[in-house]
Amino acid sequence: MNPDSQRHDAFAAVRINEFRNLMFGRFLFIMGLRMMGTLVGWWIYELTNAPFAIGIIGLSEVIPAVSLALYAGHVIDISEKRKLLLKGAGFYSVCALLLFSLSSKTISSQLANHYVALIIYIIIPLLYI
């Protein structure tokens, strides 16, 4: 049989169970990250009533992402990908739990709005390290 006459199955990868699980998990993870980013921006605006504060959130995301990009590429190249993926997902979960606990009535009622915003500004760059 001539290799040129073989039909390539465009959906062959989708039939692999592990790949489907990876893509589904990645979709949920990225969707959750985007939702968290939107909610944190809204939360900061409610705390401060300042559009500039939302810009500071963006700045606190960009600075670690840009400054650590080359080093992160090096670490990714020399590390085992699965363990690194699990560590990263676990770290995101810890940061999300910190933000969730900060939003609870118990903690937010005991802290002034500017302290809550300050803690958020400390947690957000940790998501991009």
Is residue 103 helix, strand or coil? coil
The predicted model gives 65-69 an average pLDDT of 90
pTM of the model: 0.77
Q: Domain locations in the chain?
A: 33-126
| pLDDT category of residue 67 using cuts at 50, 70 and 90 | very high
Q: What's the pLDDT score for residue 3? A: 58
Give the separation between CA 116 and CA 123, rounded to whole angstroms.
11
When the pLDDT of each residue in the chain is averaged and rounded to a whole number, the result is: 89
Buried b (16+ CB within 10 A) or exposed e, 30-43: eeeeeebeeebbeb
| pLDDT category of residue 121 using cuts at 50, 70 and 90 | very high
Give the separation between CA 128 and CA 103, rounded to whole angstroms.
21
pLDDT in tens, 19-54: 999 999 999 989 998 999 899 999 999 999 999 999
Considering only CA atoms, which of 33, 36, 54, 34 is closest in space to residue 44? 54
Whether residue 127 contacts residue 92, with contact meaning beta carbons closer than 8 Å, is answered with: yes
